[in-house]
Structures are given as C-alpha cells and as structure tokens.
C-alpha cells in the first residue's frame, strides 16, 4: 500500500507514548492512503445495498473492510470458514462463532446479524461503526508492521474496556482475554508469566490469573480493568518486559527528527519532545 506509513521512532514505553500523543494526526495522514480511501468509498457506496450474506461474500472489497474492522483481514481467503461464522450467528451458544476461542468472531457474527435476527448492514449506525473500526484497525496494523508490541498494546487499550465493562466480566472475562492472542500476550507479560503458562489446563489458567489479579489489583475479576490506572499499569509492565526481551529500544520509519516535528505540531514544545527521546537517542 502506497501512502503515509506511521512514524514509529522508538520501541517500548517511549514509542507507545509517542503513538498515543500523535495518534489523531498520524491517523488522519494514514487515512489519505489511496487503498484506504478506495476501500472506504466502496463500502460507503455499496454496503447499504447488501441484502443477503451471498451479496456480501460476492464482493471481496466489502468483505475486506468488514473483516478488517474486526482484525480478521487474514481470513479474507478463508471463505467457507468466514461464511460459517456469519451464517450461524451469535445467539446460539453452539454456533461456530461461539465455539471459537477468539472473541472477534463472535463480535463479527453479532454485528452483521445474518445468522441471528437479520441483516444489520442496512443500519447506518452499523455501517458507520464498521468504517470507524476499519480505519483504526488498519492504522494499528500498519504500526504493527514496524513494531508488533505497539500494535498489541494499542489493541489492548481499545478492547479491554468492552470486557471489563461487560455484565459477564466476572464469569467469562478471563476466558475472553485468553481467547484473544493480543490480549493474552499483554496479561501474560503484565503478570510476568512464563511461556509454559499457555500449556496448562484453561481452568487453571483462569484461577492463576484471578489469584495474580487479586494480589496486584485487589480484585480477581477482569472488571478491575475499568480503572484507567490499572490499564496503564498492565500496559507499562507489558511494554517494559517486551522491550527487555527484544533487547533493543527500537527505531522505526522516519526517525527522531520526524517524530519531534509531529510532537510539535500536536502542541508539545521542544522540551517535551526532547524529554521523550533523550534516554533512547542521546
């Protein structure tokens, strides 16, 4: 894809803070990429005309936007798999989407509605939500091409609120987190768990996460992540451990000079910009 590539001058905590501070400006530049603009224009023009699941499956560009909105763009060529997820819906506990560990599939089936109460793409609010999610996910994906840990951190910040605020957070929240590879990676690193943790029985994994969460945050429920300070603590721990294991501060496309320019454009002075990069670049 030609166009603006996100500037990721640093790895770890410093890189994440930079992405957060420049997110809106970088996202606006990224959205001008020809491929993104074509995909969104095609979706805006055609998604409201979709009447059946067959209509959606027959339009590769529409399907690419829909799957991209849920971080499932790699499944674009798995047509039978995707069809089964969507057509069986989300209401039946035995549906295919509900039997897949990754909660993104259930979210996809629920949003589209074909297997439940009917086609939801006819709703303007649903189409607008899909476009917004597509923009954010594609930007995160582009960041991940330069630093996968930053993409994981961005995903965690965006997704954890939905789990923490769910009425079923206490009973199924940890299972939802463990079913998502990016979310699992953050909590495993945040709690300093070994690689072998994923090999033990899933019920034991949940019990261990409850124990560690209770010891560190005072609650065994993932609802504790409703607190922004808890989210910050988990992300800080994840990024520090990830950077230590990578053995490098990391530098991405554009370098420090481009980063300083964007920070200044975003309203931060040279002192703030210098402070961000001093420990890694001077």
pLDDT per residue over 190-211, tens digit each?
Answer: 999 998 999 999 999 999 999 9
Instruction: Check residue 1 and give its pLDDT.
Output: 55
Closest CA to 29 of 127, 105, 142, 125: 142
The string of pLDDT tens digits covering residues 248-271 is 544 444 444 444 444 444 434 333
Report the distance separating Cα 164 and Cα 142, nearest Å.
27
3-state SS record for the chain: CCCCCCCCCCCHHHHHHHHHHHHHHHHHHHCCCHHHHHHHHHHHHHHHHCCCHHHHHHCHHHHHHHHHHCCCHHHCCCHHHHHHHHHCCCCCCCCHHHHCCCHHHHHHHHHHCCCCCCCCCCCHHHHHHHHHHHHHHHHHHHHHCCCHHHHHHHHHHHHHHHHHCCCCHHHHHHHHHHHCHHHHHHHHHHCCCCHHHHHCCHHHHHHHHHHHHHHHHCCCCHHHHHCHHHHHHHHHHHHHHHHHHHCCCCCCCCHHHHHHHHHHHCCCCHHHHHHHHHHHHC
Mean pLDDT calculated for residue range 139-168: 93
Checking if the pLDDT of 13 tops 70, the result is yes
Instruction: Check residue 2 and give its pLDDT.
Output: 58
Instruction: Check residue 166 and give its pLDDT.
Output: 86
Instruction: Check residue 170 and give its pLDDT.
Output: 83
Intra-chain end-to-end CA distance of the chain, in Å:
33
Report the distance separating Cα 6 and Cα 248, nearest Å.
20
Mean predicted lDDT score pLDDT of the chain: 88
pTM greater than 0.75 (yes/no):
yes
Instruction: Check residue 247 and give its pLDDT.
Output: 72
What's the CA angle centered on 99, arms 98 and 102, to 5 degrees?
Answer: 75
Instruction: Check residue 133 and give its pLDDT.
Output: 97
Report the distance separating Cα 39 and Cα 183, nearest Å.
28
């Amino acid at each position: 894809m030609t166009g603006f590539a996100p500037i990721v001058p640093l790895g770890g905590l410093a890189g994440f803070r930079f992405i957060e501070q420049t997110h809106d400006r970088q996202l606006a530049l990224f959205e001008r990429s020809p491929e993104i603009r074509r995909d969104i224009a095609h979706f805006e023009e055609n998604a409201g005309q979709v009447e059946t699941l067959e209509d959606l499956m027959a339009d590769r560009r529409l399907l690419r936007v829909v799957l991209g909105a849920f971080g499932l763009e790699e499944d674009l060529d798995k047509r039978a798999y995707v069809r089964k997820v969507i057509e069986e819906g989300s209401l039946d506990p035995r549906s295919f989407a509900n039997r897949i560990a990754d909660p993104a599939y259930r979210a996809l089936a629920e949003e589209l509605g074909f297997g439940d109460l009917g086609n939801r793409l006819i709703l303007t609010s649903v189409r607008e939500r899909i476009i917004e999610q597509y923009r954010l996910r594609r930007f995160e994906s582009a960041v991940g091409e330069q630093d996968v840990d930053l993409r994981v951190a961005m995903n965690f910040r965006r997704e954890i609120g939905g789990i923490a605020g769910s009425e079923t957070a206490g009973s199924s929240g940890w299972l939802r987190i463990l079913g998502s590879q990016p979310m699992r990676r953050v909590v495993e690193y945040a709690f300093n768990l070994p690689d072998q943790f994923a090999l033990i029985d899933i019920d034991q994994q949940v019990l261990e996460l409850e124990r560690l969460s209770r010891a560190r945050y005072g609650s065994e429920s993932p609802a504790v992540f409703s607190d922004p300070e808890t989210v910050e603590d988990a992300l800080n721990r994840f990024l520090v451990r990830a950077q230590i294991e990578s053995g490098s501060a990391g530098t991405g496309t554009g370098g420090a000079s481009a980063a300083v320019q964007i920070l200044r454009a975003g309203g931060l002075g040279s002192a703030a910009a210098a402070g961000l990069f001093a420990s890694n670049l001077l």
